[in-house]
Structure 1
C-alpha cells in the first residue's frame, strides 16, 4: 500500500498499524474516565493501564500505595478495566449498607457464566441472591453450628495424628500451609459436599484431584482473563458464548459426584444423623433460629430474614456447594497460617492463651460452645485477621452513575474496599504494623471506628459462613496448643514476605517448629 506516494508498506503491516492505533484510542478513551468524573487516579500506562505497577508491587501493595498517595477514593485501571479503591468509612457505610439496594451486586467486571449465577456469592440478580441468602443462612446459626462442630473435630483429630506420625523426636519443622490447606479442604468437602475426602487417603483420589484442580484457579493460568482486563468490552462476547473461566472439566466431575450424593440423601429422607451444609441446603425448613446477620452491619436486617418461598434446585445446591469450596478453602487456611505464625513469634500470648484453654477447656475436645469462652484467643485471632485478612478486598458493582457523599462514581465500575489497606491506615489503627491483640479487648473494641475492620466483608453480602470459619479456626488453634508448643523455625522470615497475588499468601510457605507437649 502506497502512503502519500512516498513509501510502500505491505498489507499485513498496515493492518497491524491500524489495530495498534485503534487500540491506542480505545484505551485513551477508557483511561480518561476518572478525569471526567473528578476522581484522583493512578496515571495509567498506554495500552496496559496499571499492570506495570501491579507487576512491581503486587495487588495488595498496589492498593496500599494508591491509597497512601491519592487518598481514600482513588481510581485505578486493571489493564483497561476501571475500579475505585475506597477507604472512607462513611462512604463505605453508604454503599455497602445504607444504600445496599442501589449497589446489591458484587463486581461484574468479568462475565459470570450461567452456572455461577445460581450461587449466593456470584449471582448478579438481587432476587436470586436474596432467595439463596435466606435459604442458606439458617445453615450457619448457632444451633446448626453446634451440630456441625463434630465435622471439624474428626478432621482435627486426624490432622493431629498425621502430625504426630511425622515426629522422629520431640521436635518437628513443618510447612503449616500444606497442613492447614489439607485440613480445610477435608472439612469443607465434608461439610458442603457430604464427602469424607481425607486428604491423606486414596479412596477418593480422583475427586480430590479434581477439587484440587478447581481450587488452583488463577489469572496467570487463563489468557482469556488477561484479555478481559485489556479489552473489557469483550465481556459481551464471552456472555454470548457463556464462557466459563474456571476448570469446567473439574466442575462437571464434581457436579456428577454431587448429583449421586444428593439423590442418595433424598432417597434416605431428612435423616437426623446427617448434619452438614449440604443437607441443610437440600431440606426446606421453617427455622426460627438466630441469624448470622449482625444488626450493626445491616440496618434493614428484617428484609434478610424473610422465609424462602421454595426449595433450592439440585443445580443450585451443587453450584453453592462448589462455591463454598472456593470461599472456605483459601480464606480459612490463610487465617490459620497467620494465626499460627503470630503464636510462634509471640510466646507470651501463646502461653496466655494456653493457660486460658487449660482453665476453660482442659483436655476436653474443643467445640462450638467452649471456644466461646476463650476471650484471649478471640482477641488474638481478630488482630491476626486485621494484619493479614483472609479476604483482602470486597467490591460492589456500580450499575449507574451515582453520587455518594462528595464522590461521583461512573457507571459500570467496581467500587472496591482494599481490606488489606484499610486495616493498615494509621488514622484508624495507631502503629498499624504492630501486632497488638488488646486492640480487640472489651474496653478497646468499642473504640474501633465502624467500617474500618472487615475481614469477612461488610453488610448484607458479608461472608455467610464467617461463623463456621471462625469456629474451624479457633478449634484448630485450641487443638494445636493442647498438643504442641509452636515456635519459629530457623530462618523464618519475620515479617513474612507476601505473594503478589490477590490473596494473603506467604512466599515459600510458613515453616514452623512444633514441639510435643508432655
Structure 2
C-alpha cells in the first residue's frame, strides 16, 4: 500500500513537471512565432535562448551589422525570450524618436532597481520623466555651462600636466585609466564642486562601468552632505546641484506670482521641483552616464591621434592659429572647427553606446507592420554608423565628411552618438 502511494506521488509529480515543461514549450513556441505572425523578418530563435548565442559569439555590434545586411532595416530578434524589433530605417526612426515620441517615450529599464538610481532621469517613465526633464534641462543652459568653464579648465590643466609627464618619460601607460580619472574629476567638480584626489583614487582606479555598492554609498553620502550644506546656505558653488537648487527657488518665486492668475489650477497640478532624493538620483545618473561614455570617447580619440599623425598635426595647427597662447575660453573653443569634425568622426566610428531602445506605449503601425503595445524598438547605432548605404567608405576615418554647414540635415537619423529626439 505504501509503495503504491509513493509510486502514485512520484507519477503525479512527474506528470505535473511534464505538463509545466510542455506549457512553457508551447508558450515559448508561440512567442518565438511573434515576428512570423507580424510578417517581420529575422533569424530563427532557439527556445529560451533566442538569438543570444550569436551575440555572445560575435559581439553585439558585429551581430547587428550582419543582421542588417541579411534582413534589412527592420527585423526581429530575441534576447532570450524577449522579442526586440531592430530598426535602422531613417524615416521610421524619425517617427519613433521625434514625430511620434509620445508613443515611444519610455525605455526598457532594469527590473528590481531600487535606491536613489530609480529616481534618475534615464530610469523614469511617462509623466515622472517629463516632470524631471522639465526641471533638469534648464540646469544645462549655455549660461550655466559657461559659468562652470573655469573649474573644468582647472581640471584640464592637471590632466595636461599628467600627460606631459608621461610624454617626457616616453614609456607605455594605460590611457583609458588616465582618461577615466580625468573624466571622473570633471564630473565630480561639475556635479558637487568636488576637487579631490580621494574620489579619483577611490573610484577612478577601479574603472567600473557600474559602480559597486560601497562606491554608491560613498557617493550618496557625498551628495547628501553637499545638498544639506547648500540648503542651509553654508556654501554656494557653480555646479549641477547648485543649479538644481537655484532653479527650485526660481520656480517657487514664479509660483507665488502665478497664484494670482486665472490658471492657478493648472499650475498647481504640475510638479515643478524635485525632492532631495530625486536630486540625488539625477546626480548619480549624471555621473554614471557621463563617466564611461566620455572616458571611452577620449581613449578612442587618443587612438585616432596615434594612427593618423597627419590629423594630429592639423588639429595642432588649428589650435595654434585660433588660440595661440591665449587663454582658452568657453567661446573660443567653438572656433576649433576641425577639432569638432574629428570628434564627430570619432563618435561615428566608435560610438560609446551600441544601441538605444524605446518601448511602444500603444499598438502602432511601424511602416508596413502593425506592432503590439509593449514592443521594444532597438536602434543599432554602431551598425547605422557603419552602413555603406548611409556613409561612403564607412570604415575609413574621414573628418571632412562633417565639414558641410548643412551636415546636421544630411546626417539626421543616421548619426546618433547621443540618440535623437526629446529623450
Is 1:311 aligned to residue 266 of structure 2? no
The CA deviation string for residues 109-135 of structure 1, in whole angstroms up to 9 with x for no partner, is 74554744422211012x222222122
Residue in structure 1 matched with residue 337 of structure 2 by the alignment: 375
The CA deviation string for residues 191-236 of structure 1, in whole angstroms up to 9 with x for no partner, is 12333243xxxx4589x34x8779443xxxxxxxxxxxxxxxxxxx
What is the distance in 2 between the residues matched to 1:176 and 1:213?
A: 14
What is the distance in 1 between the residues matched to 2:20 and 2:326?
A: 69
How far is 1:278 from its partner? 1.5
Residues 109 and 413, structure 1, Cα contact 8 Å, conserved in 2: no
**Whose Rg is larger?**
2
The CA deviation string for residues 278-321 of structure 1, in whole angstroms up to 9 with x for no partner, is 2111222659xxxxxxxxxxxxxxxxxxxx85332101110000
Residue in structure 1 matched with residue 229 of structure 2 by the alignment: 264
What is the distance in 2 between the residues matched to 1:20 and 1:48?
A: 15
Q: Secondary structure at the match of 1:396?
A: strand
Residue in structure 2 matched with residue 191 of structure 1 by the alignment: 190
What is the distance in 2 between the residues matched to 1:214 and 1:351?
A: 31
TM-score w.r.t. length of structure 2:
0.86
Residue in structure 1 matched with residue 163 of structure 2 by the alignment: 163
- Alpha carbons of 1:194 and 1:28: their partners in 2 closer, same or farther (altered >3 Å)? farther
The CA deviation string for residues 74-96 of structure 1, in whole angstroms up to 9 with x for no partner, is 11111111111110111111111
The residue correspondences of 1:38-117 to structure 2 (distance < 5 A) are 38-108=39-109, 110-113=111-114, 115-117=116-118
- Alpha carbons of 1:16 and 1:54: their partners in 2 closer, same or farther (altered >3 Å)? farther
Residue in structure 2 matched with residue 355 of structure 1 by the alignment: 317
The CA deviation string for residues 224-271 of structure 1, in whole angstroms up to 9 with x for no partner, is xxxxxxxxxxxxxxxxxxxxxx85554344223321111011212683
What residue ranges of structure 2 are gaps of 5+ in the alignment?
4-8, 252-269
Residue in structure 1 matched with residue 298 of structure 2 by the alignment: 336
Residue in structure 2 matched with residue 251 of structure 1 by the alignment: 216
Residues 283 and 311, structure 1, Cα contact 8 Å, conserved in 2: no
Residues 50 and 78, structure 1, Cα contact 8 Å, conserved in 2: yes
Whichever structure has more helix as a proportion of its residues is 2
Residue in structure 2 matched with residue 145 of structure 1 by the alignment: 145
What residue ranges of structure 1 are gaps of 5+ in the alignment?
3-7, 218-245, 288-307, 462-518
What is the distance in 2 between the residues matched to 1:388 and 1:337?
A: 10
How far is 1:152 from its partner? 2.1
Residues 180 and 207, structure 2, Cα contact 8 Å, conserved in 1: no
- Alpha carbons of 1:110 and 1:26: their partners in 2 closer, same or farther (altered >3 Å)? farther
Residues 385 and 415, structure 2, Cα contact 8 Å, conserved in 1: yes
- Alpha carbons of 1:133 and 1:68: their partners in 2 closer, same or farther (altered >3 Å)? same
- Alpha carbons of 1:101 and 1:270: their partners in 2 closer, same or farther (altered >3 Å)? farther
Residue in structure 1 matched with residue 131 of structure 2 by the alignment: 131
Residues 184 and 333, structure 1, Cα contact 8 Å, conserved in 2: yes
Residues 93 and 451, structure 1, Cα contact 8 Å, conserved in 2: yes
Residues 215 and 326, structure 1, Cα contact 8 Å, conserved in 2: no
RMSD: 2.9
Residue in structure 1 matched with residue 265 of structure 2 by the alignment: none
Aligned pair count?
399
TM-score w.r.t. length of structure 1:
0.71
